[in-house]
A and B are shown apart, each in its own frame.
Chain A
Amino acid sequence: MVYEQMTRAKSKGAIAHHLVKRVLPLIVSILTMGISIRADGGSVLWQRTMGSITVTAFTTQSPLRPGQADISFLVEDNEQSRPILDAQVFVTFQSETGVTMRTEATHAQARNKLLYCTLIDLPQSGHWKMTLLVVHAAEPMEFVSDLAVSQPQSPLIAHWKLVAFPPAIAILFIFQQGFVWKRNATHR
């Protein structure tokens, strides 16, 4: 009984150590992973003015490719020369083949909180029509533009980091072992 208690106490210490050492970093990395799904401004796609409003569209990917795309909009008041933060921005994407997708761009999805951002999954390449509906002070304004979505990247290029990391680590390991061997030979 005493032995069992002793081993249990030891094991609990080991478990705590294990939790701190292995599980905690994993949890932290998983939690922070979610944060990365936030959009950025990126490069300017176009800028349009209608009435008292100027809209600038941004994208982080250039060129756009099928898959998740991050498109953001800055809505500015021309008269007061300042960004408008209380508008509603709706975006419609329509492909040549007739695929239509509607979404709302919000500040919540944007890293730059002056922007309205949408993360949209573009299923195919080709020419898309992007229709932007900005509603500000109960006045809707529509901006239509073309969006060119290029061919998807070769999967090998898209995932080159993951494909290349094992051989890279292996080469580093061989060098490390070379140094170990050399050191051991010198000590002998």
Chain B
Amino acid sequence: MEGITDAVFSSWNLDPWLLIPALVIGLLYARGWRRQYKRAPDRFGFPQLVSFYAGLTAVLFALISPLDTFAGWLLTVHMIQHLLLMMVAPPLILYGNPYLPILAGMPRRFLKDGMAPFLASLTLRKVGRFVTHPVFCWTAFVFTSIAWHTPPMYQLALSSPTWHAVEHLCFLATALLFWSPIIQPYPLAPQMPRWTMIPYLFLADFQNTALSAFLMFYERVLYPAYETVPHITGMTALEDQASAGAIMWVAGSIFFLIPVGLITIEVLSRKRTPLLRKRLVLPQAQLSERTERREGKRRRRPRTPVDLLSLPLIGSVLRWPHFRRSVQAVMFLAAIIVVVDGLFGPQMGAMNLAGVLPWTHWRGLSAIALLALGNVFCMACPFNFVRDLGRRLLPASWVWPRRLRSKWIAISLLFVFFWAYEAFGLWDSPRWTAWMIVGYFTAALIVDGLFKGASFCKYVCPIGQYQFIQSLISPVEVGVRSLDVCKTCKTHDCLRGNDRQRGCELQLFQPQKTSNMDCTFCLDCVHACPHQNVSLLATLPGTQLVQIKGRKRSLRWFRRFDGAVLIFLLVFAAFVNAGSMMESVQRQEQTLQMTLHRGSFHLILLVFFLFALVVVPAMLVAGSVSLAKILSGRHIRWRESVSTFAQAFVPLGFSMWLAHFSYHLVNGALTAVPVIQRAARSAGLSTFGKPDWSLSASMINFDWLPSVQLLVLGLGLLLTLYVGWRLASSFHLKFARTLGMAAPWAVLALVLYAAGVWIVFQPMQMRGMMMDGTTEWCMSK
């Protein structure tokens, strides 16, 4: 029997969906209570603190203890759980005066920008006043109590965990409302005379008595679910029902009648001092002293952003002058190995380094790095080696032509790449991949060997443009620690360089730089600055896109049309690239390949890509511009409109890239192992062992992956909508007109989001993996 008791008492339900909200509420209350205690210790004293946490503990105990585990087996236990949620926890929580401490415990910015508009709204205040009116509170409590005890509703709650949670939520919420007029938590004002609380409680007790008597004396089992479950206590279902009714009757009545007694004494007493709530008046002197203290505290120092270069270990590594060169050397070596294996190794993507490392691992990892750190790929770019070699071998004295100082070359190259990737199946063609890398090296050598600065990176490199755009939502940027230091600087070493260190090759002047656009994270400016004022600073993802103030200068590049086209190309390419992996699309492609000869197939694919990446986006964007103009009633030049709102789509595009690449990375993470083993054996190294090709075909069912992909897409959409709204707000129109301006772009974002969701749910081709030998389909979804 001891073992059974132990088993019962160890049956806890540590559900994070309960624990995390409770933890958050508890932390917010503690944080806010500390502040409120300093201001009004009589109102927010230790009794309130203890009472609030006792109430919160009661809620948690009801929901995570063995009470919840055995509520489905015993009605008596279920009744105790409900009493805790309706009678014990709510009065305790309300006695803790929770509203102000929880609000004060929220982050200041969230409270000011997020909550304050709701709290200040007159409409919502009226709704709040209505909801907290004793008549509504009583009706809601009684109705909920009766409704959930009817057999169909109770059975529903017992059969479905979701409905069970809804039932508990209803009980807790209406009980909090019910007890509000009785406890009167600050700052809720009473809406009815105090004496009315006596009939209020009596009537509630009458309902409770009627319901519990019905449970006790009814001669049949009211809830059939309790008949089918095992009766571990030896009680029959009917005895259990009677016992539950008795508990509800006795305990329930006690909880109603004690406050009735207290309120009666309070009403009849001469002083009319509330027994349940003390009237609190602070002395005037104490109040003024606190006000002064509070106002003094309001003048806060600006918060210093997190500086990565100051971190103990990472900072030292990043500041090391040869760090970047070392990483580049490793990447360069890896690129050479990939090229050699691509040219001379087996010509099957899943068996070759050129088919696995660049397309499965590098793409996925660089996308994750963009989200976690920033433009890490450009920092470790292997092409820099040949760029520097080109500068030594060739004159590097020409100036990049003014006409070509735009993103159009890179845009064209990106378009060609997206088309070639599908047309030539680059992911499954190691030789083409190797030649592409060789071509890249050659272009970098020639361009930077002939022209000054980093012309290749800024105007030609398609990978660089992709990284620049996506790094706009990265949490790290190269920036100045203090603008005051820059104001006193006369040498501008970060731009011009000095004897020790070259300046920014991409002509980015640090004090004016406000985003990661065109920044290769080379850290030349960091090393060049004599004041050590340039660093890697943490920033909130997305803030670089919504810096409305100083827009004319800081976001100058956004006003350029080529920048907007680049963004839209990358956004639509994210969806087209992921969509081309779908089984249905692949079948169409295969049918086309079989019916047409190669040249015609490539041509048709080219037409498709022109349609998908140029015509459709142009039509959708043009439609959005026109609609925005009509709905907002503001005449904005279409180029300005496109250039402004394009940046809003960066998060959505990135989220689709991330969802797509993470799919390959998660499914094909182990594919590198046998390929490296094979390449090592080909090179005469047997230390890595025999290739284990089963790792290349592993079909672990990652159930959680679609959820993560949807979450990523959802967050991308939200950030896009937010940035779009902020950009529309910057035109200073009325609310309806601002909404009209943002709405067409929001609809476009929602259409893309829906397309992304649909793609995530489709069966996908497992590129870079060996499925059933050569057939590479994953029908797991």
Contact = CB atoms under 8 A, between A and B. Distances in A.
Given A8-B310, A162-B714, A35 B753 contact: no
B229 interface: yes
Interface string A101-130: 000000100111110000001010000000
B750 A85 contact: no
B16 interface: yes
B7 A177 contact: no
Q: Which of A17, A47, A176 has the most CB of B within 10 A?
A: A176
Nearest to A32: B16
Given A36-B17, A82-B1, A85-B4, A43 B304 contact: no
A95 to B, nearest CB: 16
User: Interface residues of B toward A: which range?
Assistant: 35 or more
A82 B233 CA distance: 8
A14 B20 contact: no
Interface string B459-494: 000000000000000000000010000000000000
Given A32-B19, A36-B16, A68 B703 contact: yes
A88 B228 CA distance: 24
Given A15-B311, A167-B750, A32 B14 contact: yes
Contacts of B706: 155, 159
Contact of A32 (B7, B20, B711): B20
A121 B703 CA distance: 10
Given A32-B20, A155-B706, A179-B121, A83 B229 contact: no
A109 B146 CA distance: 36
Interface stretch (B377-385, B571-579, B637-645, B717-725): B717-725
A182 B121 CA distance: 8
B398 to A, nearest CB: 40
By DSSP majority rule, is chain B's interface helix, strand, loop, or mixed? helix
Interface in A136-167: 155-156, 159, 162-163, 165-167
A48 interface: no
Interface in B434-450: none
B703 A67 contact: yes
Contact of A159 (B121, B228, B707): B707
A11 B311 CA distance: 8
Interface residues of A, number: 67
Interface in B700-740: 701, 703, 706-707, 710-711, 714-715, 717-718, 721-722, 725, 734-735, 738-739
A100 interface: no
Contacts of B711: 162
A39 to B, nearest CB: 11
B356 to A, nearest CB: 27
Interface string B1-45: 101101110111111110110011000000000000000000000
A62 B72 CA distance: 15
Given A18-B538, A68-B703, A36 B70 contact: no
A170 B721 contact: yes
Nearest to B531: A3
Interface stretch (B112-120, B253-261, B623-631): B112-120
B746 interface: yes
Interface in B729-781: 734-735, 738-739, 746, 750, 753, 757, 761, 781
A56 interface: yes
Nearest to B227: A44
A169 B725 CA distance: 13
A166 B714 contact: yes
Contacts of A112: 11, 69-70
Contact of A35 (B11, B16, B113, B739): B16
Contact of B232 (A4, A12, A82, A180): A82
B14 to A, nearest CB: 5
Contact of B69 (A13, A111, A163): A111
Contacts of A7: 304, 307, 310, 481, 532
A14 B14 contact: no
A29 interface: yes
Contacts of A10: 304
A18 to B, nearest CB: 5
Interface of B: 1, 3-4, 6-8, 10-17, 19-20, 23-24, 69-70, 72-73, 113-114, 117-118, 120-121, 124, 158-159, 161, 225, 228-230, 232, 234, 303-307, 310-311, 481, 531-532, 538, 701, 703, 706-707, 710-711, 714-715, 717-718, 721-722, 725, 734-735, 738-739, 746, 750, 753, 757, 761, 781
Interface of A: 3-4, 7-8, 10-15, 17-18, 25, 28-29, 32-33, 35-36, 38, 40-44, 47, 54, 56, 60, 62, 67-68, 74, 76, 81-83, 85-86, 107, 110-114, 121, 123, 155-156, 159, 162-163, 165-167, 169-170, 173-174, 176-183
22 contacts: A10-B304, A11-B307, A13-B304, A14-B303, A14-B305, A28-B20, A32-B20, A35-B15, A36-B15, A42-B72, A43-B159, A83-B4, A83-B232, A85-B7, A111-B11, A114-B8, A162-B714, A163-B757, A173-B721, A177-B725, A179-B121, A182-B121
